[in-house]
Structure 1
Amino acid sequence: MTLVGQSVHLLHGIHPAFVVAVIPTLVILVHLVPWLVDPHGLRSFPGPLVARFSDLWLGRVAQQGHRSQVVHKMHEKYGTFVRIAPNHLSVSDPAALQVVYAHGNGSLKSNFYDAFVSITRGLFNTRDRVAHTRKRKIISHIFSQKNVLEFEPYVKGYVHSLIQQWDRLCADGAKGLQGDDGESGWRGRDGRVWFDCLPWFNYLAFDIIGDLAFGSPFGMIAAAKDSAPVAKSHEQGLSVYGQDISKCETVSIPAIKILNDRGEYSASMGVLPPWLRPIVKRYVPWYNRGSDAVQKLAGLAVAAVAKRLASPAYRSDLLSKLQQGKDEDGNPMGRAELTAEALTQLIAGSDTTSNSSCAITYYLAGHPNVQRKLQKELDEALQSEDDPETSFEVVKNLPYLNAVINEALRLHSTSGIGLPRIVPEGGMTIQGHFFKEGTVLSVPSYTIHRDREVWGDDPEVYRPERWFERDNDAIQRTFNPFSYGPRACVGRNLAVLELLVIISSIFRRYELILEHPDEPLSTREGFLRKPLSCLVGMRRRTT
């Protein structure tokens, strides 16, 4: 029990007036005493005044949805080291990546990740080193380049479905028509169709990962609608594991919205002290709604896995490979663990792909010269290809395509926050500063992706050419879209394949411009930075 919890317990039964007088004093002492004692030696580091005494500053920043940008401004104000919580230092030094997140350094994930646990701990939110090693041995081979290539037909199939929908929109838009397909309104003007492309990227990403992780798509592209079945009861869904799915009651939910709500909730809850989490979860409506989103998203995985395992047909997908995986003792995953890992793949494989695809499209639509240069490269490389969706093998080594994608990932930084790690026994040294065991350190990707020494004097400008002009070694050490070290994104190979196929297929076939070219890409951040919309005008290319 924490000091606050013990104090509240002791005050139980005492006169209310005395409690009202004492509690504020206790709250002040709880925050002031650690600052005075300074157990981790962080008092000398600058940062927002409230953040030096309380986790509430970072909690408020996370809840407002722009953490990466706010922390970046703090680094611009204070320098390389910024104290963003009483025991959390943000470090904007690219070289710190290889210290804080390195293989074998002994650092562990902080209790921030406890807020992301729903069914049971998965590879992403497991903090125990032994448990993580076991899980990674089972899962990592699934995302080898060889296995990922087996998933390419699924990716291309749904890209093809998206292109069919967009071809129809282009044809109707060229006639000056307008309509409302599900949740995506559009109108024809000036020979183009004008619409928000973000929902379509959401549908595409969810259908791809739904098929790979659960054996069937959610049907979002065809319906142009955010909808997926969720189990009413987790226990019931798990109990019919591999049996008749009709025994598992389901209802439809807006899965994309629920996923966004869950990310914002967990990322905000995770920066609060553990003793405060159950209190805000119960009494603060915003957190209460977020908790509901966590349960609904878990229910989606429960229902989808139950349905998939009830089918006797074998298919090569993520879930079948998770079923086949065994730890070093030859033991497969239990059903709850299997469902949790499938949920992890759904979350990681949908949000990142849709966010990144939208951001890349935004930058290309806003830079016509870059778009034309990319299309010239694609036309030359794909002149003998007849299918509208491109092949990974053909486009994977196209230099300008890769630069276009990487430059957008650098600027948008889908995973932009500094991922917190606990300094292990023996401490760490960064730029001559020694940090004691138990200190929490993080390196924000959003900020190091704007380091002028690495990227030049125009880091806020979208300019793919910098990838051919700058020191490649420095760029590779700093570019961090998938994190670094043993806890880096295990699905990186699949993400790269998806982005290369999606972006090359779309811009080979269409020409896009922004409806409001002077407006920045509006975002909101939970664990990931999510575009809120991307209004474009599109028409079929004539080559």
Structure 2
Amino acid sequence: MAIVDLFLSHPGYIAASIPVLVLLVHIVPWLVDSHSIRDIKGPWLAKFSDFWLGYWAAQGKRSEHVHEMHKKYAGTFVRLAPNHVSIADSEALQTVYAHGNGTLKSNFYDAFVSLRRGLFNTRSRPEHTRKRKIVSHIFSQKNVLEFEVNVKQALLNLTKQWDRLCEGGVKGISGDEGEGGWKGHDGRVWFDCLPWFNYLAFDIIGDLAFGAPFGMLDACADSAPVAINNEAMMAQYGSTKPDAEAKEPEVMHVPAIQILNSRGEFSASMGVLPPWIRPLVKKIPWYAKGNQAVKNLAGIAVAAVAKRLAADAQGEKSERVDLLRRLQESRDDEGKRMGKEELTAEALTQLIAGSDTTSNSSCAITYHLAHNPAVQHKLQKELDDALGLDDSPVLSYEQIKSLPYLDAVINEGLRVHSTSAMGLPRLVPEGGITVLDRFFPEGTVLSVPSYTIHREKRTWGEDCDEFRPERWFERDQTDIQRCFNPFSYGPRACVGKNLATMELFMIMATVIRRYEFVLENFDAPFETREGFLRKPLGCRVGVRRRNLDPL
């Protein structure tokens, strides 16, 4: 008590002790080494603090720098934080992420919770099992094929807009000639294809998850309605007996794509910080802006789901089959349906998972095809040979799902670009686990970086940094499948893989058959920025319609 009184009577002692306390908080865990990882090499700062990983996550370059650390220390194991080890070996995937190993999602995923925990960010194994049983059958191959009509309609809207640009060189759609484009040499129209792929992906997932497209392709603009007050919207429209006298909850239109990008960067950088400091960090302007993006993104889901629930409650139930309807009708093992908050959280999960991944991958594959004209022409020949005189603006999945070179091109794009690139963190359970003959005790965080194992030379070859689809026919298929991780692995793997695959096949086959692409600047690097996913920063291309008439 005397010591406390001494500190209270001399505030200077408190100020002087803060640096000492900070050092002790970081030095003592390293000295104690409760995770037995002191011998593992890594950035010097990472031994004592989460700051190194937090810094590069906030800079949008996490995966690239983790990859550089693995090359620098020439080791399978690299220490990224006081209790976090990155394992750059595809053999570790089966141990760290597989069924039955007991690993859990780390507190990294707490930073992704907004309305409530969904399938993606729940850390409870029983709760995840319950949610996955509800959701997984929705994405069976049979059910996914029912969604093809939605994908076709959005693709038709895209081709109409691109045909219009190619024919007339329309300049300045939505006041932005970068998105609208203009005629240039060789009769091409020049524009950034990334916004268009964003509009396409958002309209598809909006149509599937919320009952109607956002209308971005029609408007040629990034805009979606968001609830201004989530609680008021859910209370009014989520009721089976909406109050007719109540004032209709307000919505406003926001740039959803921009918000999704900000939310991903915020959550991914916040997630690597210690939980105790996160409330303080949110006060920093950059993080505060990201925190608002989290709320706005949740508001998009709230507004869309509330609209559907209101129509149902008023006897205007739609007969359309979509993801939201499937979620509404699903039941758990006890026969219970999702409540409105859980339903909205799962719809939000589908919005996030089904938009950025598709648009990022489509843009990246288009870039690599434009950067490799021989590959583009080879793919176009495969499509032409398979489709003959069919000049339909949109191709069906049945027409192209078995084309081997198309499959190789898409897989190579997912490998080289690695949209889901970071090592997803897993917490070692009680009793510890052994990975590649090394034991890790309970509480250690482990991850296997997809960006790095997609560049594993023993599997992919010395030219692993190059985009070359032919490797999918040359390399051992068992090795390739063991090392290919675009949708994660094990019980927490992407539940929407079948839908994502169908979308990518239809999108890439349609645009590559119908158009020819060249890069505006062939020597410019393909720049990306990573939030939770690696997103291209743009891809300016020259586009013109192909002549499919054999005469």
| TM-score category, normalised to shorter length | over 0.9
Matches for 1:91-170 after TM superposition, within 5 Å? 91-170=87-166
Q: CA deviation at 1:386?
A: 4.1
SS in 2 for 1:82: strand
Residue of structure 2 aligned with 1:37, choices 22, 32, 39? 32
Partner Cα separation in structure 2 for residue 224 and residue 328 of structure 1: 44
Task: State the alpha-carbon separation in 2 of the partners of residues 98 and 517 from structure 1.
Answer: 39
2:77 is equivalent to residue 77 of structure 1: no
Any residues of structure 2 matched to 1:488-499 within 5 Å, and which? 488-499=493-504
Q: Partner residue of 1:276?
A: 277
Specify the code of the residue in structure 2 equivalent to 1:54: S
Matched, 1:56 2:51: yes
CA-atom RMSD, angstroms? Answer: 1.5
What's the % identity of the aligned pairs? 65
Divergent runs of 4+, >6 A = 9-12
Verify: 1:464 aligned to 2:469, yes or no.
yes
| CA–CA separation in structure 1 for the residues paired with 2:529 and 2:12 | 42
C-alpha displacement at 1:489, in angstroms? 0.3
Q: What SS is found at the alignment partner of 2:275?
A: coil
User: What secondary structure does 2:162 align onto?
Assistant: helix
| 1:309 Cα offset (Å) | 2.0
Distance (whole Å) between structure 2 residues aligned to residue 10 and residue 305 of structure 1: 57
Give the 3-state SS of the residue equivalent to 2:123 in structure 1.
coil
Q: Partners of 1:258 and 1:24 in 2: how far apart?
A: 37
Which secondary structure state, in structure 2, belongs to the residue aligned with residue 247 of structure 1?
coil
Q: Indicate whether 1:250 and 2:251 are aligned.
A: yes
Residue 482 (1) aligns with residue 487 (2): yes
Q: Hey, what does 1:241 align to over in structure 2?
A: 238
Determine if contact 2:58/2:265 at 8 Å carries over to the other structure.
yes
- Would you say the 8 A contact 2:173–2:220 is kept in 1? no
**1:10/1:406 CA distance change after superposition, 3 Å:** farther
1:529 corresponds to 2:534: yes
Q: How does 1:38-437 map to 2 (within 5 A)?
A: 38-78=33-73, 79-173=75-169, 178-183=171-176, 184-190=179-185, 191-239=187-235, 240-241=237-238, 243=242, 247-282=248-283, 284-311=284-311, 312=316, 313-437=318-442
Deviation at 1:424, TM superposition (A): 1.7
- The one-letter amino acid paired with 1:278 is P
- The structure-2 alpha-carbon separation of the partners of 1:12 and 1:286, relative to structure 1 and needing over 3 Å to count, comes to farther
Shift of 1:13: 5.0
Question: Residue deviations 1:402-453, cap 9 Å, x none?
Answer: 1001101100000000000011222222222111121110000000000000
Distance 2:253 2:301 in 1: 13
Structure 2 counterpart SS, 1:275 = helix
Single out whichever of 247-256 and 443-452 deviates more from structure 2.
247-256
Query: Conserved in 1, the CA contact under 8 Å of 2:136 and 2:495?
Result: yes
CA distance in 2, matches of 1:291, 1:18: 35
Q: Distance in 1 between matches of 2:8 and 2:31?
A: 31
1:412 and 1:10 map into 2 onto residues whose CA distance is 59
Distance 1:40 1:167 in 2: 59
CA positional deviation for 1:265: 0.1
Structure 1 pair 13–295 and aligned structure 2 pair: CA distance change class (3 A)? farther
Q: CA deviation at 1:308?
A: 1.8
Q: For 1:384 and 1:171, locate their aligned partners in 2 and report how far apart those are by CA, in whole Å.
A: 22
Give the Cα–Cα distance (whole angstroms) in 1 for the partners of residues 486 and 19 of structure 2.
43
| Aligned counterparts of 1:90 and 1:379: Cα–Cα separation in 2 | 44
Instruction: Classify the secondary structure of the residue corresponding to 1:178.
Output: coil
User: Given that residues 182 and 225 in structure 1 are in contact (C-alpha distance below 8 angstroms), is that contact kept between their aligned partners in structure 2?
Assistant: no
Taking the aligned partners of 1:226 and 1:463, their CA distance within structure 2 comes to 33
Within a 5 Å distance, the mapping from 1:503-518 to structure 2 comes to 503-518=508-523
1:94–1:478: 8 Å Cα contact kept in structure 2?
yes
The answer on 1:446 being equivalent to 2:451 is yes
Letter in 2 for 1:434: F
Q: Is the 8 A contact 1:513 1:536 kept in 2?
A: yes
Deviation at 1:393, TM superposition (A): 1.1
For each residue in 1:113-142, what CA deviation from the matched residue of structure 2 results, as whole angstroms up to 9, or x when unmatched? 000000000000000001000000000000
Asked whether the 8 Å contact 2:420–2:487 carries over to 1, the reply is yes
Name the CA distance, whole Å, in 2 between partners of 1:375 and 1:285. Answer: 48
Q: Kindly tell me: are residues 442 and 189 of structure 1, through their superposed partners in 2, closer, same or farther at Cα, counting changes over 3 Å?
A: same
SS in 1 for 2:446: strand
Give the C-alpha shift of residue 12 in structure 1.
Answer: 9.0
Assess, with a 3 A threshold, how the Cα gap between structure 1 residues 373 and 292 changes in structure 2: closer, same or farther. same
User: 5+ residue gaps in structure 1?
Assistant: 1-8
Q: Deviations over 1:333-368 (max 9, x none)?
A: 111000000000000000000000000100001110
Separation (CA, whole Å) in 2 of partners of 1:14 and 1:354:
60
Shift of 1:382: 1.4
* Deviation at residue 182 of structure 1 after TM alignment: 4.9
Return the letter of the residue paired with 1:165.
Answer: Q
Greater alpha carbon shift after TM alignment, 9-18 vs 313-322: 9-18
Residue deviations 1:360-391, cap 9 Å, x none? Answer: 10000111000000000001111253421111
User: d(CA) in 2 for partners of 1:246 and 1:397?
Assistant: 53
Aligned in 2, Cα 1:32/1:122: closer, same or farther, shift over 3 Å? Answer: same
Q: Is the 8 A contact 2:529 2:535 kept in 1?
A: yes
**Equivalent position SS for 2:282:** helix
* Runs of 5+ consecutive residues of structure 2 not aligned to the other structure: none
Instruction: Tell me the distance in 2 between the aligned counterparts of 1:16 and 1:220.
Output: 58
Cα distance in 1 for partners of 2:503, 2:180 equals: 26
CA contact (8 A) 1:68 1:446 kept: yes
Q: Return the alpha-carbon distance in structure 2 between the equivalents of residues 223 and 11 of structure 1.
A: 67
| SS of aligned partner of 1:521 | coil
- Separation of aligned partners in 2, 1:384 and 1:99: 49
1:415 and 1:11 map into 2 onto residues whose CA distance is 53
> In structure 1, what is the Cα distance between the partners aligned to 2:337 and 2:103?
27
In structure 2, relative to structure 1, the CA distance for the partners of 1:406 and 1:17 (3 Å cut) is same
Equivalent residue, structure 1, for 2:547 = 542
Rate the CA distance shift 1:509–1:450 in 2: closer, same or farther, 3 A. same
How far has the Cα of 1:462 moved from its partner?
0.6
